[in-house]
Structure 1
C-alpha cells in the first residue's frame, strides 16, 4: 500500500470512528428526549394554525382531524389552497365543525407570490389569521390532543420567538415510503438533537413552526419567505436576528410518509439535501460523519482490506445497528430488517454525494436552482 493510499485510509478511519461516536451520542439523546417530562403551559393563549394544502394526500383526513381534536380552550384552523378545484377542499368540508373552542376558515386563492408556492398560499391565507400566536403546519402531520399545549408552553419565556417540532416518520405501505421514514427517524431526528446538544439552536423545522405575530411582522412577514426554498430556516433566522430564541416542543409530531416511487423519494431527499447545503454548506459537508458505514467501507477500499480499516468498519456496523435499535425502541417504531437498513445506508450516502454536487432541485414538477442564500431561480423550460 502506497503512502498516499495509507494516508487516505487513516483519514477515513478517523472519520469513521468520529461517526461511531456520533451514532452513540445521537441514540442516547433520542432516548433522553423521549423520556423528558412534558411541561404544562403557564398560559394558553389563542392560537391560529395555518394549514397550506395541495391535493388530497394519503391520510389527509386523519391528519387534519387530529389537529382539530385538541384539548385546548381556543384555537383557529385556517386551510388554504391555490386552486378552487383542489380535491383537498372536499376533505376539509367533511371535517367536524362542532368541537369546543375551535374555529375553521377556508381560503381558495390562486394569486401567486414568488417561487415558493407554499408561502404564496400562506400569504393568501394571512388576512384570515386572527390570533397573536401563529402556527404553520404541514398537511402530512398527525398530532396528539396536547399538540397546542406543547406549542404554547415554551412561550412562557419572553426570549422565545419560535417553537418548532421534531417529527417521526410513519410510513404508508411500500418500500419507498419505508425508506423515506427511516431517513427521518434515523437521520434527521437524531441529527437535530445532536445539533442542539452542541449549541446549534438555529434549527427550525417546517412540520410545525409556531411564531409570535409581533416577531413575524417585525422581520418582514411571510413575504420575506416567498422566494426561498428553505422557508423554515429563513423564518428561524428572521427571529434569531431579533435576539429571540427557537425552542423545541417537548413532543414530536408524526409525519405521514408516502413515496410513490424511487424517483419521487430521490427527488424529495435531494431537494432537502441541496436546500440545507445551499444555506449552510460547511455544516452539510461536515455531516458526512453521520454515515460511518459508508466511511468505513471507503476506508477498507482505500486501505486494501488493511486490518485497522476492517476494525473501523466493524465498529461502524455495530454502533449504527445499536443506534438504530435504540431509536426504534425510543420512538415506538417497528423493527427494520437488516436488508432494509443496508439499502437505507446506501441511499443516504448517494443522496449526500449528489446533494453536494449541484444546486438544482425538483419541486412540484418544476425545476429550480437554489442560490447560496436559499432563494430560488426557476430553470428555463421547466413546468409552470
Structure 2
C-alpha cells in the first residue's frame, strides 16, 4: 500500500479530538455524584452542606443566624412554583423574610403567593406588586421594585424555580462572616418536569453546564454568579450601586457578582447544590431557552464562546473514530499507525469519560439507562445550538426581547475572560 503523509488537517483534527476527550475526562472527574439509591443519601447528594453549625467558628455561627431577606422575582405560575416556594419557608434559620415580587397585578403567581401566605401565617412573607419598569432587563426591574421592602442585612436572590433544603439559608449566609467574601453562589441540579424535552433540557444543565463550572472552579476561576443563589451583604449591594447598576444587563446574575469582585471581594461557590426545574414542553421552547443561554455567553466573552466546541464530546468522539479508521486504512507506516492508535485511544477514553459523566449525573440506575440514548442527541443538539448562537442580536426572556449588545459592550469595558470562565456566565433565570 502506498504511503500517504498525514495531512495538516488530520493532525489538527487529531489534536482537537484529543483535547475534547481530555476535557470530557476532567469534567467527569470534577462533578459530584448527583444522587443515590436511598432517599436520604439522595437528598445529601443534592444538597451537601457548605458549612454545618458543628464545623464553623462561633462568629460564623452567629452570622449564619442574622436576619436574611430572600428576594424571589416571579413571573407566571410555573408547574411546581408552590412546592418550590415552600422549601424557602421550611428553613432552620431563625430570622428570615421572603419578598416575592411580580410586575403585573394580573400575574397568576399572585394566587400562589396568597396560598403560601395562608399556609405559613407566622412567616414574614411579603408580596410586592409593582408595574414600574427601570430598564431593558425586566427581572432586574422587578428586583429594584422589591429591594425597598428588604429589611435585613443579608440579601439572598434566588430564581423562582429553585428548591432548597432546610439548612440552605444557614449554609449560604455563613461564608459572609468573612469580610473578604462578597458573594456566595450555588450551582444547581436540574429536574425535567413533564416529558421528553424537559429530560433533554435537564441534561444540558447536569451534563454540560454544571461540569463546565466544576472544571473552571477546579482550575482556579472564581468569575461566576448564578441566579440559583446570590447571597451578599446589603452594604455590598449598596456599594455597587444596587440593582440599578444591572438594569440593562443581559447576564445580570454574572454581572452582579462581577461588580462585587471589582470591589476586591471574593466569590464563593457553595457546596450547596439547589434543585431547578426544566419545564419547556416542546423542542422549540427548549431550543429558544438554551440558545439564549449560549448567546448570553457570547455576549459576555465572544472569544471564549468560540472555543466552547471542545466541550461537546459526542461529535468529537465520532470524528476521532472516523479519523482512526481512515488513517489505518490509508497506510501501515509508523506515523500512520501511531496517529491511528492515538486517535482510537482518545476516542475510547472520551467515550468512557462521557459515560462516567452520565453515570455521575444519574440519580438512580433506572435514570442512567433511561436517559443513556439521549446523550448523543444532547451533545449533537448543543453543537447545533452553539452554531445558531453565533448569530442574533437579541434574546427572548419571559416574553421580552433583550439586546445582546448591552452585555457585550460592558464585557469590553471589564476585560476579557478566559475560555473556562465563559461557560459560567449564562443567565439561569
Query: Is the CA contact (8 Å cut-off) linking 2:137 and 2:402 kept in structure 1?
Result: no
How far the C-alpha of 1:283 sits from its partner, in A, is: 2.4
Counterpart in the other structure of 2:10: 9
Instruction: Please show how residues 1-384 of structure 1 align to structure 2 within 5 Å.
Output: 6-31=7-32, 38-40=50-52, 41-42=60-61, 43=63, 44-96=65-117, 102-299=123-320, 305-307=326-328, 308=340, 309-328=343-362, 334-335=367-368, 336-371=370-405, 373-374=407-408
Query: Is the CA contact (8 Å cut-off) linking 2:48 and 2:272 kept in structure 1?
Result: no
How far the C-alpha of 1:96 sits from its partner, in A, is: 4.6
Query: Is the CA contact (8 Å cut-off) linking 1:13 and 1:295 kept in structure 2?
Result: no
Cα distance change of structure 1 residues 27 and 76 upon mapping to structure 2, 3 Å threshold: same
How far the C-alpha of 1:284 sits from its partner, in A, is: 2.3
Cα distance change of structure 1 residues 374 and 52 upon mapping to structure 2, 3 Å threshold: farther
Query: Is the CA contact (8 Å cut-off) linking 2:28 and 2:353 kept in structure 1?
Result: no
Structure 2 distance, partners of 1:259, 1:197, is 31
Query: Is the CA contact (8 Å cut-off) linking 2:292 and 2:396 kept in structure 1?
Result: yes
Partner-residue secondary structure (3-state), 1:347: helix
Structure 2 distance, partners of 1:32, 1:339, is 20
Partner-residue secondary structure (3-state), 1:228: coil
How far the C-alpha of 1:372 sits from its partner, in A, is: 6.4
Cα deviations by residue, 1:118-147 (Å, 9 ceiling, x for unpaired): 001111111111111111111100111111
Q: How large is the RMSD of aligned CA atoms in angstroms?
A: 2.6
Partner-residue secondary structure (3-state), 2:32: helix
Query: Is the CA contact (8 Å cut-off) linking 2:49 and 2:272 kept in structure 1?
Result: no
Query: Is the CA contact (8 Å cut-off) linking 2:68 and 2:153 kept in structure 1?
Result: yes
Structure 2 distance, partners of 1:251, 1:260, is 28
Partner-residue secondary structure (3-state), 1:288: helix
What stretches of structure 2 of length at least 5 have no aligned partner?
A: 35-44, 53-59, 329-339, 411-429
For the pair shown, the structure with the greater C-alpha radius of gyration is 2
Cα distance change of structure 1 residues 102 and 151 upon mapping to structure 2, 3 Å threshold: farther
- How many positions carry a matched residue from both structures? 374
User: What is the TM-score of this pair, normalised by structure 1?
Assistant: 0.90
Counterpart in the other structure of 2:425: none
What stretches of structure 1 of length at least 5 have no aligned partner?
A: 377-384
Cα distance change of structure 1 residues 363 and 100 upon mapping to structure 2, 3 Å threshold: closer
Counterpart in the other structure of 2:427: none
Query: Is the CA contact (8 Å cut-off) linking 1:151 and 1:163 kept in structure 2?
Result: yes
Structure 2 distance, partners of 1:100, 1:87, is 21
Cα distance change of structure 1 residues 360 and 99 upon mapping to structure 2, 3 Å threshold: closer
